[in-house]
Chain A
Amino acid sequence: GESVGLHLPTLSVQEGDNSIINCAYSNSASDYFIWYKQESGKGPQFIIDIRSNMDKRQGQRVTVLLNKTVKHLSLQIAATQPGDSAVYFCADAGGTSYGKLTFGQGTILTVHP
């Protein structure tokens, strides 16, 4: 069945380091992907999205890379801060006639001061 999964369930970095969170998806028809950040006790918060006609998209301190050949996404966070500590999910929003999001399990990012 369809799945979106993450290679690393946990990631610990020092403040100021760059962080990279990876994600694999299985649905070849997917054409839209979103990264969400979820802090404890809160709902997922939109970070950045990318469509399948792009390989890279940049936001404020974040970059998403899409490799359609190997069905892989990554989220890069520059100069990681303690406030970035959270669970990060990639979600597959494409390939269906409605807006169903398929989430992976998530990566726990911990940033040490």
Chain B
Amino acid sequence: ETGVTQSPTHLIKTRGQQVTLRCSSQSGHNTVSWYQQALGQGPQFIFQYYREEENGRGNFPPRFSGLQFPNYSSELNVNALELDDSALYLCASRAAGTIFRTDTQYFGPGTRLTVL
């Protein structure tokens, strides 16, 4: 077990709706990254949050946004859902910039989002 949890496990939405996915990072980890994994593909980096601020983003449009909270939890928000947003959404956490720094990212189990 990595200590990273995600909710919900599964979610079904319709096109145009908005969705919020949640992640609880491993204790002591101040950095969280979100990834999208389409079926049969490797995870694709969406963005990273460090100390509650976004400090890196992949090739995803602005309708993908996030938040990170002081208690190590974070959210991924997706507006105006499209059919192609159907995927497994993963969060990963690590400790950066501290004496407990680790480059290794530990993943949660993911949230399976289906857009109809």
CA distance A43 to B110 in the complex (A): 6
Choose the segment among B66-74, B77-85, B99-107 that binds chain A (4+ C-beta atoms closer than 8 Å): B99-107
Chain A, Cβ-Cβ closest to B108: A43
CB of B114 to closest CB in A, whole Å: 14
B44 contacts across to A, CB distance below 8 A: 103
Contact B103 A44 (CB under 8 A): no
Q: Chain B, interface size: which category?
A: 20 to 34
Using a Cβ cutoff of 8 Å, how many contacts connect chains A and B? 68
With A105-B41, A105-B42, A106-B42 known as contacts, the answer to whether A98 contacts B106 (CB < 8 A) is no
Closest Cβ neighbor of B31 among chain A residues = A99
Number of interface residues of A (CB under 8 A): 25
Question: Can you sample 23 A-B contacts with CB below 8 Å?
Answer: A34-B105, A36-B107, A43-B2, A43-B90, A43-B92, A43-B107, A43-B108, A44-B43, A46-B105, A49-B103, A89-B42, A89-B43, A93-B103, A93-B105, A99-B48, A99-B94, A99-B96, A101-B35, A103-B42, A104-B42, A105-B40, A105-B41, A105-B42
Closest 6 CB pairs of A and B: A103-B42, A43-B107, A98-B56, A100-B45, A44-B107, A43-B109
